Amino acid sequence: MTNGDPSVVVRDLVKRFGDFVAVDHISLEAQRGEIFGFLGPNGAGKSTTIRMLCGLLHPTSGHATVAGIDVAREPEKVRQQIGYMSQKFSLYNDLRVIENLRFFGGMYKVSSSALPERIRWALDMAGLTDRESAITGTLATGWKQRLALGCAVLHRPPILFLDEPTSGVDPISRRQFWELIHRMAGEGVTVFVTTHYMDEAEYCNRLVLIYRGQIVASGSPTELKQRAMKGELLLVECEPLGPALETLKSAPGVMDAAVFGDALHLVVPEASEAVHTLNSYLSERGIRVKKIETIRPSLEDVFVSLTTTHAQSAPDRRPQ
Amino acid sequence: MNWRRLAAMAHKELIQIFRDPRSLLVVVAMPILLMFAYGYGISFDIKHVPICVLDRDASQQSQDLLKHFQASEYFRVVKVANNYRELNAAIDAGRCQLAVVIPWDFSRKLAAGGKVEVQAIVDASDNNTANVSMSYSEAVIRGYSQQVQLEWLQRHGLAGASTASAPIRVDARTWFNENLESSAGIVPGVVVMVMAVVGTFLTSLTIAREWERGTMEQLISTPVTSMEVMLGKLAPYFVIGMLDTTLCAVLGVLWFDVPFRGRWSVFFLSSTLFLIVVLSLGYFFSVVGKSQMAANQMAMLATFLPTFLLSGFIFPIDQMPVPVQVISWVLPARYFMTIIRSVFLKGTSLAQLQTNLLALGVFAALLALLATRAFHKRLD
Amino acid sequence: MTEPNAAIRASELTKRFPGVLAVDRLSFDVSPGEIFGLVGPDGAGKTTTLRMLAGVLAPDSGSALVAGIDIIRSPEGARHAISYMPQRFGLYDDLTVYENIRFYGDIFGIRPVQREQRAQRLLAAAGLGEFRARLAGKLSGGMKQKLGLVCALIHTPKVILLDEPTNGVDPVSRREFWAILYSLLAEGVAILTSTAYLDEAERCHRVALLHQGRLLFCDTPAALKQNLPGAVISIVSADPRQVRETLEKAEGISSLVLVGSGVHLVVDDAARRIPELRARLEGSGASFEVIEQITPTIEDLFVAAVQGGIAGKQP
């Protein structure tokens, strides 16, 4: 699946807007056929990084190559090598399906001899072969999404950028979409996904977590959940909940405590030890414990634990 | 009606007006700009018309006549031609608008006591100026002619009798605007224009902006009532509108020397009514327009063009074809224009302006009602 | 089952727009002191439902009682008791944090002294204490969201309606946001929030899964997960496609999904199938690291419900 030279290489990429450092020394590598995720909240620097990689924004400093092309020196050439699918799809709702395909085919300079074949392929992939005359605006979200994907890859780019591709999309369409992405990755396409949805990140082979312009962690979703988290996560069901939370926040050995539905989630350095101590700690304070168990941290737990420590060690230099 | 909620809406609107550089520009700079642009820019007075002269006589008398032209502030001699060809060329090139040709036997005929004709050629492609230039040049020549007559009579010892010998005399008096300064007529009209444009323009943005920015949805879910929204939003614009109008009136009196012969009470009463008209209209467009751009366009179309063309601002209404005159009856600006001009230039009493004030009042009531009915606290 | 003291009671709410049935006979209850989640993708009908309950949109049919008042017939009567924060919430970018709070305080008729006290407390909880003089437009996304919540809470509502309040917000701000919500429950407030994040559903006491305007399920997250027939198994592997090929013919699998780190399957019986699958994988030489049962996610449930037509417990 992944072999040969990495298709995207980024070294110490920086982008400044006046005093504001949007992207602060980012480095990464993505292999051919890899689904690579950029995970972080809005304003963290994801879009700025992607724009630089697409040749739309000039880096302040640092170095990036996409499909072997230096993005700073030959931005025009880069754009022929990439496909881009934006959030909410940027399709023309008043054009027919086939007209959208022809339009994007023209934009990406697909040769007129190759275009009919590519259009047929895209229609087939999206499942719209009998519906090429349908007005795009009348399609359901899932169909539009697959059509948008087709439009983005008519020119067979080796690298594909997806910006929040399945946000708000129903789970079934989402799974079908990711099935297509996996197929493309299997054929060697490198797929870059930016998202702030933690559960979307699960579909990626590898992730980098971005916060305030910097990478705070990288690895596969499983690796991140196992190793990047500082401490372990406990689920505590007890009563009464409110007072329990108050005392646990200041309890020794509790790194973080938060309500989660009917229970509390606690971050502790060591789970098995903590289970014992907490049982007695809570009972002493008149709190009835129903259940304490170790649970697997989600990517969001990982993110929070990393960004809290990150924020503590490096105060935000950006204007809030 | 909860006064606290109303005050909160008004306060918020005021802050937003003053924090938006564009609306600030409209509120402060636009009235002054309009005043000066119209006050100075539109003038029906003709001054310093460029003229060309061809003196075929080159005598002392012909030179005397030409000096009359030169001394007049209405004319400016830009070329002394040597022949007709040069004269024609100057007119064709647009270098002069009027040409005066003095014949070769001018002084000889004058000395002989007979009539002599002076030719005046005018470029009438600018109709307005042409007519006026013609009459001015006739006036200059007549003035000279009278002077010549007087000198002749004096030389012949008949000076005392001359004044009685002119057969017809016109005693022309221009009322209310003695110097026929068009600025006196224009400036009060500008007060109306400013109020119409600024009032409707600014308010047309207010509701549409909240929809566009997305704050309206939450606002309608609060206890605030539609009436409180409307009055709260329009109150600051009312105050600003009044201040702007007063500013224009003061500018008119102090700077443009327009007289103010009426009563300030009538001025403020009619201004209040007209403000209610324009603000209600602007608010209505803002509700109906759904987007700031649409609301704005509606506002400009509905106020600027009709006010400029049909309110009597530039073009007298009674000179218009009857169907168009009828249209002007439904224009509130027409009534306000009449009232304002009276207040400045005529000083007529309240009683005499009754009909106009009543018409304005009816419009104010109708449009205010329309505005209140337009806004609903609903998404569909 | 209808709760006698429900803070929100929606009954057969229906709303049609040209060409689409946005909400289809929706019924559910929310009790005081409860956080209830409306969960579903875009177009499921969440925003439309919230708008009807907030009294800014009239339904085509059905009824709704909010804080004891018939919100459809007399919406104005309920305004004081409700707090509504739409997706595009009403923050005035050109007003400062303080001016925004003051505006909403005045609109709801809160006395200045009370308003000050409440504002201080909420701003501190939201981490916005030092930003009173900052123009709202200059705040970051997460801070704006928190300020929006503060303005919505400046009066003491009985019912809070939130439409996707944490969309795009950074996880730390999101936690602070939820902490504020949880703290309100002690006052007996009922909170109805909508989200397209399926994992956020887990934070609610009860959840209603919506799909194309209809209610699929309504229950606590834990009960919902137990409702899923079968079990979810995770196989961690560096080559998920190979794993899938190998298991294509295996028995007992009702769905198989490729994820970044491997494969997720739904099987009928975990205890029985795990050894079978392990054997199959080892036999074909496919590489894998772990094969284990995991807790189903709300997404698993959603997919099963829509595809399998499984009916859930209706309120």
Q: Give the SS3 label for residue A162.
A: strand
State the average pLDDT over residues C294-311. Answer: 77
Query: Is the Cβ pair A198, C199 closer than 8 Å?
Result: yes
The answer to whether C98 faces chain B, any CB pair under 8 Å, is: no
At B44 the pLDDT is 61
Does residue A292 carry a pLDDT above 60? yes
Among chain A residues, the shortest Cα distance to C300 is held by: A171
A41 touches chain C (CB under 8 A): yes
Residues B96, B78: Cα–Cα separation, whole Å: 7
For A174, the enclosing helix (H) or strand (E) is helix A171-186
Query: Distance of CA B191 to CAs A74, A176, B45, B185, Å?
Result: 60, 67, 21, 11
How does residue B166 score in pLDDT terms, banded at 50, 70 and 90?
A: very low
Q: Do C54 and B16 make contact, defined as CB atoms within 8 angstroms?
A: no
pLDDT of residue B138: 84
Task: Evaluate if residue C314 carries a pLDDT over 60.
Answer: no
C85 with B20: Cβ contact below 8 A: no
For residue A41, list chain C residues with Cβ-Cβ distance below 8 A.
Answer: 141-142, 168-171, 173
Picking from A5-9, B30-34, B154-158, C229-233, which range would have the lowest pLDDT averaged per residue?
Answer: B154-158
Beta bridge pairs of residue C211:
C214
pLDDT for C97: 96
Q: What is the pLDDT of residue A320?
A: 41
Q: How far is B348 from chain C (nearest CA, A)?
A: 47
| Host H or E run for residue C253 | strand C253-259
> Beta strand pairing status for C35-39 and C190-195?
parallel
**Per-residue pLDDT reduced to its tens digit, A207-242:** 999 988 999 999 999 889 888 888 889 999 988 887
Query: Any idea which of B250-254, C30-34, C152-156 has the lowest mean pLDDT?
Result: B250-254
CB contact A135 to C (< 8 Å): no
Give the single-character DSSP code of A207.
Answer: E
Q: Average pLDDT for residues A284-310, to the nearest whole number?
A: 85
Q: How confident is the model at residue A313 (pLDDT cuts 50, 70, 90)?
A: low
Chain centre to alpha carbon of residue B118: 36
Hey, which residues 51-70 in chain C have their CB within 8 Å of chain B? 51, 54-58
Cβ pairs bridging B and C (under 8 Å): 77
Q: Show which subunits contact A, needing at least 3 CB pairs below 8 angstroms.
A: C
**pLDDT score recorded for residue C312:** 46
Q: Does pLDDT of C126 surpass 80?
A: yes
C51-85 pLDDT tens trace: 999 999 999 999 999 999 999 999 999 999 999 99
Minimal CA separation from B236 to chain C, in Å: 16
pLDDT at C315: 42
**Which residues does chain A have within 8 Å of residue C163's beta carbon, measured at their own beta carbons?**
none
| Residues C164-182 pLDDT 10s | 998 878 888 888 888 889 8
Judge: A168–C168 Cβ closer than 8 Å, yes or no.
no
Q: Report, as an integer, the average pLDDT of B338-354.
A: 84
In the predicted structure, residue B153 carries a pLDDT above the cut 90 = no
In this predicted model, what pLDDT tens digit does every residue of A235-281 receive, in sequence order? 999 888 878 888 888 888 888 888 888 889 999 988 888 888 888 88
Q: Which chain A residues are within 8 Å of C260, Cβ to Cβ?
A: 35, 37, 201-207, 220-221
Model confidence band, residue C1 (pLDDT cutoffs 50, 70, 90): very low
pLDDT of A121 reads 92
- Bridge pairing between strands A214-219 and A263-268: unpaired
- Residue C138, chain B, CB below 8 Å: the answer is no
Cβ within 8 Å of C, A 72-91: none
Q: What is the mean pLDDT of chain A?
A: 87
* SS3 per residue for chain B: CCHHHHHHHHHHHHHHHHHCHHHHHHHHHHHHHHHHHHHHHCCCCCCCEEEEEEECCCCHHHHHHHHHHHHCCCEEEEEEECCHHHHHHHHHCCCCCEEEEECCCHHHHHHHCCCCCCEEEECCCCHHHHHHHHHHHHHHHHHHHHHHHHHHHHHCCCHHHHHHHCCCCCCCCCCCCCCCCHHHHHHHHHHHHHHHHHHHHHHHHHHHHHHHHCCHHHHHCCCCCHHHHHHHHHHHHHHHHHHHHHHHHHHHHHCCCCCCCCCHHHHHHHHHHHHHHHHHHHHHHHHHHCCHHHHHHHHHHHHHHHHHHHCCCCCCHHHCCHHHHHHHHCCHHHHHHHHHHHHHHHCCCCHHHHHHHHHHHHHHHHHHHHHHHHCCCCCC
Q: Which of residues 143-182 of A touch C (CB under 8 A)?
A: 167-172, 175, 178-179, 182
Asked if A261's CB is within 8 angstroms of C261's CB, the reply is no
Partner C contacted by A222 (CB < 8 A): yes
Which fold is adopted by the domain B49-165? abc type-2 transporter like fold (3.40.1710)
User: Is residue B262 predicted with pLDDT exceeding 50?
Assistant: yes
Question: Tokens 């004709």, residue?
Answer: B117
Instruction: Give the pLDDT band of residue A317 (cuts 50, 70, 90).
Output: very low
Chains that touch C (3 or more CB pairs under 8 A): A, B
Average pLDDT value for residue range B162-182: 51
Q: Closest chain C residue to B222 measured between Cα atoms?
A: C79
Tens of pLDDT, residue by residue over A52-103, are 998 889 999 999 999 999 999 999 889 888 999 887 778 898 899 999 999 9
What is the full DSSP assignment across C84-129?
A: EE-SS----TTSBHHHHHHHHHHHTT--HHHHHHHHHHHHHHHT-G
User: For the purposes of burial, counting CB atoms within 10 Å of the CB of B113, is it exposed (0-12), middle (13-18) or buried (19 or more)?
Assistant: exposed
Answer whether C touches A (≥3 Cβ pairs < 8 Å). Answer: yes
pTM of structure: 0.82
Residue to mutate among A145, A222, A239, with most C CBs inside 10 A, is A222
Cross-chain Cβ contact B5/C109 below 8 Å: yes
pLDDT of amino acid C252: 87
Q: Looking at chain C, which residue has its C-alpha nearest residue A1?
A: C239
* CA–CA dist A116, C161 (Å, integer): 50
- Asked if C55's CB is within 8 angstroms of B8's CB, the reply is no
Contact with chain B for residue C107, Cβ under 8 A: yes
pLDDT at C311: 47
Residues 175-194 of A with CB under 8 A from C: 175, 178-179, 182, 186
- Write out B66-81 in H/E/C secondary structure: HHHHHHCCCEEEEEEE
Q: Please report the residues numbered 109 through 128 in chain A whose beta carbons come closer than 8 angstroms to any beta carbon of chain C.
A: none
Q: Is B14 on the interface with C (CB under 8 A)?
A: no
Nearest CA in chain C to B380: C57
Domain boundaries, chain B: 3-43+184-374, 49-165
B325 has a chain C CB within 8 A of its CB: no
Q: Which chain C residues contact residue B4 at CB under 8 A?
A: 106, 109
Distance from CA of C155 to the nearest CA of B (A): 11
Chain B nearest-CA distance from C26, in A, is 20
Q: What confidence score (pLDDT) does residue B181 get? A: 58
Region B128-157 average pLDDT: 80
pLDDT tier at B114, thresholds 50, 70, 90: confident
Residues of C in Cβ contact (< 8 Å) with A186: 241
Res. B177: pLDDT tops 80:
no
Highest mean pLDDT among A139-143, B83-87, C146-150: C146-150
- Mean confidence (pLDDT) of chain C: 89
pLDDT-derived band at A311 (thresholds 50, 70, 90) equals: low
What pLDDT, on a 0 to 100 scale, did the predictor assign at position C313? 40
Evaluate if residue C306 carries a pLDDT over 90: no
Token match 């009972």: residue?
A: A283
Residue B182 has pLDDT above 50, yes or no: yes
C80 touches B: beta carbon within 8 Å: yes
pLDDT at C54: 96
Taking only residues 250 to 289 of chain A, the set having a beta carbon closer than 8 angstroms to any beta carbon of chain C reads 258-262
Residue C21: pLDDT band with limits 50, 70, 90 = very high
Q: Please give, rounded to a whole number of angstroms, the shortest distance from the CA of C51 to a CA of chain B.
A: 9
Distance CA B310, CA B320 (A): 9
Across the interface, do C182 and A259 touch by the CB < 8 Å criterion? Answer: yes
The whole-angstrom separation of Cα C102 and Cα C105 is: 5
The 3-state DSSP class for residue A303 equals helix
Residue A102 confidence (pLDDT):
93
Q: Using 50, 70 and 90 to split pLDDT, how confident is the model at C308? A: low
pLDDT at C303: 84
- What pLDDT sits at residue B233? 94
Among A154-163, B297-306, C197-206, the range of highest mean pLDDT: A154-163
Q: CA of C219: how far to CAs of A224, A241, C39, C224, C226, in Å?
A: 31, 20, 12, 6, 11
ipTM of the complex: 0.85
Say if B250 is an interface residue toward chain C (CB within 8 Å).
no
Minimal C-alpha gap between C112 and chain A (Å): 28
Q: Which residues in chain A have their CB less than 8 angstroms from residue C262's CB?
A: 222
Touch between chain B and chain A: 3 or more Cβ pairs under 8 Å: no
Q: Band of the pLDDT at B43, cuts 50, 70, 90?
A: low
State the sign of the Cα–Cα–Cα–Cα dihedral B282, B283, B288, B290: positive
From chain C, pick out residues whose CB is under 8 angstroms from the CB of A141.
Answer: 41-43
pLDDT digits (tens, 9 = 90+) for A109-121: 888 899 999 999 9
**Distance (Å) from the alpha carbon of A201 to chain C's nearest alpha carbon:** 8
A255, A244 in Cβ contact below 8 A? no
pLDDT band at A312 (very low <50, low <70, confident <90, very high): low
Residues of A in contact with C202 (CB under 8 A): 260-261
